[in-house]
Amino acid sequence: MRFGGFQPFTLSDYPGRTAAIAFTQGCNFRCPFCHNGALLPMLVPEENLVPESVVLDHLRWRQGKLDGLVVTGGEPTLQPALPTFLHKVKNMGFLVKLDTNGSNPAILKALLDKGLVDFVAMDIKAPSHKYALLTGLSSAPLEAIEESITIILRSRVEHQFRTTHVSALLSATDLQSIANALPCGSTHVVQPFRPEHALVASLRDAAESA
């Protein structure tokens, strides 16, 4: 596993649970509002990475004291070693929360079918007509996004869908359109935008001048 960061404790990232957070390196989206720009490149010098052994050793030390591990990114499903890593985490008795952008439904389904994930938080970036803009892509993977939503629902795993409200890019009508398109009964969390480290400088500048 290639980890760009590790946080040994959180009370806010896994609902109702104490957890640690492992940040995977690399993402296939380039969301203009992203506040974790250092995690976007797939290839970075090894000295900038957190060894997998550091994460696993911390979990062994915290067995019986932490409930789970949040695996976020970047985009975790880009990591070929993810299933093997999650097996190790589950074998130590920890719950696993996976944060994903939903772009790799086949990987997501495989993880859920194998019982390697206990909670999924999937980002819904925008209504369909704005998805390319909010992901920084020339063409948004809308079919993959829809498939991932269906997979999560069919798995019956605990889950939530999340949208970061960037007021310069998403209107109140856009947020309502997202909520209306999501499955009835699923939790939709609207997250505040953190402009200070936004990937696109104009979003940072607009916040500073506001």
Q: How far is CA 92 from CA 61, 66, 145, in A?
A: 11, 11, 31
| 105: its two tokens | 């439904």
pTM: 0.96
Cβ 33 vs Cβ 200: under 8 Å:
yes
pLDDT at 153 over 50: yes
pLDDT at 117 over 80: yes
Q: Which domains does the chain have, with CATH numbers?
A: 3-209 (3.20.20.70)
pLDDT at 210 over 90: no
pLDDT at 103 over 50: yes
| Per-residue confidence (pLDDT) for residue 206, from 0 to 100 | 61
Mean pLDDT of 161-167: 97
Using CA atoms, how far apart are residues 197 and 51, in angstroms rounded to an integer?
25
Q: How far is CA 153 from CA 61, 145, 160, in A?
A: 34, 13, 10
Query: Mind listing the pLDDT tens digit for each residue in 68-90?
Result: 999 999 999 999 999 999 999 99
Q: Which residue has the higher pLDDT, 25 or 209?
A: 25
Neighbouring C-alpha atoms within 13 Å toward the C-beta of 157: 27
Neighbouring C-alpha atoms within 13 Å toward the C-beta of 57: 5
Query: Mind listing the pLDDT tens digit for each residue in 126-147?
Result: 999 999 999 999 999 999 999 9
| Per-residue confidence (pLDDT) for residue 189, from 0 to 100 | 98
| Per-residue confidence (pLDDT) for residue 204, from 0 to 100 | 86
| 68: its two tokens | 């789970």
Residue percentage of the chain with pLDDT more than 70:
98
Output the average pLDDT for the chain: 96
| Per-residue confidence (pLDDT) for residue 205, from 0 to 100 | 73
Residue 105: partners with Cβ closer than 8 Å, 6 or more residues away: 144, 147, 148, 151
CB atoms under 10 Å from CB of 122, counted, come to 21
Tell me which H or E stretch contains 144. Answer: helix 142-155
